Structure 1
Amino acid sequence: MNAVRVWDPLVRIFHWSLVAGFTANALFNDPEGKAHEVIGLAVLGLVAVRIVWGLIGSRHARFADFPPSMSASLGQVTEMATGRKRIHKGHSPLGALMIYNLLMTLIVIGATGYMMTTLAFFGVGWVEEAHEIAVTWAEISIVAHIAAVFFESRRLGINLPKSMLTGYKDIPAAGDDG
């Protein structure tokens, strides 16, 4: 195995802070409470930092390193279906789509959540509905993301959760079974 540095500290701090913030607001905070609002704004701030970092950050943090591509994603699905293994140092094509999905969904959640605190949109049904739908979509996406991370970790023989903790991916050397 070759330990390859992939995730810089900002990406890892962003990821785990986002996990903590979203989890706190989804499971532990009163949706009507001030803490929910403050954490929601903090999550939106994290997303803004990540977008900037996606433009100027380290190699694998940059959006240019994982552009959204339906054809590449379908290629990855084909690889999975046929038992072929292609290891990506950064995000895989399906992983990239999930990142864009989650970032956009969190922006919608944050924007509608903020709108509900304003006089113009307080109590407006479609804003509350959009917020709830986006939260539900985020929860579905997060479950799919976690399942995919564990599936791909097993399939490829790479501990992906560990790499998001340490910043290094243990990639099999040429000739290794994996």
Structure 2
Amino acid sequence: MPAEDCRHLVPTRVWDLPTRLFHGLLAAAVIGLVITGVTGGNAIEWHMRLGVAVGALLVFRILWGLLGGRWSRFTSFVYAPAAVGRYLRGQPRPTDRFDVGHNPLGSLSVFGLLAVLALQVATGLVADDEIATTGPLNRFVSGATASLATGWHKGYGQWLIYALVGLHVAAIVFYVTRKKQDLLRPMWHGNKLLPPGTPASADHLRSRLLATVLLAACGAAGVWVYRLG
């Protein structure tokens, strides 16, 4: 962006604090899942705990996608095929706000990663390694279902997550190096330089208290599920 245009941009709150904390906690939990899954042995107990934690975080994100700040809500980054086409052609309409939150390709990446993580958690909850470890919900499904879930969880599921995480990281690097758009710092402090008048996300005390209540409820549900095992 030309320097003369940058002078007319103002800091605008895009990512509210609950969304930023969700991203950080989810990234840490997924890294922990990979480490404990590869380590095996006694680390599997922590693998299950982290898996349940990821499930609780995903439920929170679904709720926050309905109740959170403007640019954290799903309605802000669910795009019609026509909008995706305009983005790919580089012909946005004046009403398109592809430069604020998630652009169309970014939104597809986000939804894809959340869906695959949810499937991985769900299969882990009912999995059975037929040695010493079963998921906390294993007793509620048939042996055939548990076997199918275990095969996905230990096979295609984990490799699909690796691929999507790698794609996510590659996209960030591409935007930083080629398009000169820093996607990391706005996610750290919440603000992004945008044209005056761009609607901001709510990030006040009441919103943060609501997020705290929702996260606590999701965490309590996760503990309950874990103790079923």
TM, length-normalised to structure 1: 0.83
- Determine if contact 2:98/2:104 at 8 Å carries over to the other structure: no
Q: Give the Cα–Cα distance (whole angstroms) in 1 for the partners of residues 159 and 81 of structure 2.
A: 24
- Determine if contact 1:44/1:110 at 8 Å carries over to the other structure: yes
- Determine if contact 1:21/1:43 at 8 Å carries over to the other structure: yes
Structure-1 residue corresponding to 2:149:
127
Letter in 2 for 1:127: A
Higher relative contact order (CA 8 A, sep 6+): 2
The answer to whether residue 113 in structure 2 is matched with residue 102 in structure 1 is yes
- Determine if contact 1:115/1:122 at 8 Å carries over to the other structure: no
CA distance change for structure 1 residues 67 and 122 in 2, over 3 Å: closer, same or farther?
same
CA distance change for structure 1 residues 31 and 78 in 2, over 3 Å: closer, same or farther?
farther
Q: Give the Cα–Cα distance (whole angstroms) in 1 for the partners of residues 30 and 169 of structure 2.
A: 14
The structural deviation recorded for 1:101 is: 0.5
The structure with the largest alpha-carbon Rg is 2
The answer to whether residue 168 in structure 2 is matched with residue 160 in structure 1 is no
Q: Give the Cα–Cα distance (whole angstroms) in 2 for the partners of residues 50 and 36 of structure 1.
A: 21
The structural deviation recorded for 1:122 is: 6.7
CA distance change for structure 1 residues 164 and 90 in 2, over 3 Å: closer, same or farther?
same
User: Which secondary structure does the structure 1 equivalent of 2:78 belong to?
Assistant: coil
The answer to whether residue 13 in structure 2 is matched with residue 5 in structure 1 is yes
Give % identity.
29
Q: How does 1:21-32 map to 2 (within 5 A)?
A: 21-29=29-37, 30-31=39-40
Return 5+ residue gaps in structure 2 as ranges: 1-5, 92-96, 128-134, 197-229
Structure-1 residue corresponding to 2:100:
89
User: Which secondary structure does the structure 2 equivalent of 1:170 belong to?
Assistant: strand
- Determine if contact 1:66/1:92 at 8 Å carries over to the other structure: yes
Superimposed CA distance per residue, residues 137-166 of structure 1 (whole angstroms, 9 cap, x where no aligned partner): 111011111111121233443211111111
Letter in 2 for 1:126: L
Q: How does 1:39-50 map to 2 (within 5 A)?
A: 39-50=50-61
- How many residue pairs get aligned? The number is 168
User: Which secondary structure does the structure 1 equivalent of 2:90 belong to?
Assistant: helix
The structural deviation recorded for 1:87 is: 5.2
Q: Give the Cα–Cα distance (whole angstroms) in 2 for the partners of residues 137 and 78 of structure 1.
A: 28
Return 5+ residue gaps in structure 1 as ranges: 81-85, 174-178
TM, length-normalised to structure 2: 0.66
